[in-house]
Amino acid sequence: MLPEIGPEPAGDGTPFSQLTTMRVGGPAERVLVAHELQELVAFAQGLWDTDEPWLLLGGGSNTVMHDDGFPGTVLLVRTTGIAPVEDDALPEGKIRLRVQAGHDWDHLVAACVENGWSGIEALSGIPGAAGAAPVQNIGAYGQELSDVLHSIEFLDRDRGYARRIPAEDLGLAYRDSAIKQGLEGVVLSIDIVLTVGEVGPGRRAHAAPEVLSEPIAYAQLAGALGVEIGDRVPIRDLRDSVLGLRASKGMVLDPDDHDSWSSGSFFTNPIVTERFAHELPENAPRFPQPVPEVADAVTTFEELEAGYPIRVPQATPERMVKLSAAWLIEHAGVQRGFHLPGSGAAISSKHTLAITNRGGATAHDVAELARFVVQRVQQEFGVILAPEPNLYGLEL
């Protein structure tokens, strides 16, 4: 079993090194802990009424704080709970679940696997809280939260009250969302829609371990399971395989494994034009991205009479491809285990995409190594890597 979300803080002045998976960062001036939904709402609204800076923190898996700490209040989200939601609009074989924002993400995945509900099994082992999942649109091994997200309950600062926002209005993209782009508020809960387990031939419907996963969409995962892309396997087998793959890369939290003292993947995979990608070495991995639909440029007579402006034809969007940040880092000469002289931060010995705390690292060490990696990749390939975690008081 994975560790619970973050330790309970000792109180005001708790360092971020105790609140984040990277285990770096100075003290928080004040710490509030919300265990109940009403507490979370009351704390957030109360903090908005003041002029002091404050920071919302879940599992701390996507946060790197400056060594000087945070000059304000940290609100820790520790609300938990999973409950089915009645929804007559759902097709047969689907279930809608409401998950409180502070619920440990992997505990949610484990519960769904045990109940034979598929759709997030490939997201096993991702650290953090459920409320943070839509902010980043978390994804791994061919699945993304956007595949199953129905809606979120959102405490909207501008409106002053909680409202439900459908997934399609959140601007979910690769590691991005409207929340990340400036929609200010607090995620109180998320609703996801999963598939009620389908069993293989001759299987018993109540045997949760035999319920089949969603079709496998990731080559490495298919290879680890000895099957083909598009095949389905028992849902528990898929979860076990994902956890094994993540552990082999230091991506499963383990207090005894310094490779897991990290914020997971430190850089996002760059998305560039297909034309730019042609300039890269032939063996550089490329993953074609969906081409956005071009809006209809025809303006009807009814629209003209109603005062609508004439639509201007849009150029066909350029094709985009996603690159592998790990490949770029490795081929820029930064190898696994690399560290700068005298630094407590290092590239993971298992995976070049993670920056890790080897014990005693500072936030300065982490940022310095990250800047070195960015510079090497830019010099070698002309690609500027972007950090995935939120950096506070630090610049790359």
Angle in degrees, 0-180, between the axes of helices 105-115 and 235-248, rounded to the nearest 10 = 150
**Quick one: tokens of 200?**
């293989």
Would strands 28-34 and 70-77 be described as parallel, antiparallel, or unpaired? parallel
From 175, 236, 246, 376, active-site residue: 175
Q: Among this protein's residues, is 388 annotated catalytic?
A: yes
Classify 99 as helix, strand or coil: strand
- The one catalytic residue in 124, 213, 241, 265 is 265
Residues 6+ apart with CB under 8 A from 151: 164, 165, 166, 167, 190, 191
Amino acid at the residue 36 = E
Residue 275 CB-density burial (10 A; 0-12 exposed, 13-18 middle, 19+ buried): exposed
3-state secondary structure at position 302: helix
**Contact between 388 and 135 (Cβ < 8 Å):** no
Catalytic residue among 121, 210, 214, 388: 388
d(CA 238, CA 210): 11
Unique residue bearing structure tokens 């002053």: 160
Any residues with CB less than 8 A from the CB of 118 and at least 6 apart, and which?
112, 194, 195, 197, 198, 211, 212, 213, 214, 235
Containing H/E element for 54?
Answer: strand 54-57
Query: Could you tell me the CA-to-CA distances from 153 to 90, 164, 234, 377 in Å, in that order?
Result: 19, 4, 32, 40
* Residue 265 among the catalytic residues: yes
| Spatial separation of the C-alpha atoms in residues 50 and 338, rounded to whole Å | 44
* Encoded amino acid at 340, one letter: L
Show the DSSP H helices in the chain as ranges.
37-48, 105-115, 133-136, 219-225, 235-248, 274-277, 301-305, 325-331, 363-381
Catalytically annotated residues: 175, 265, 388
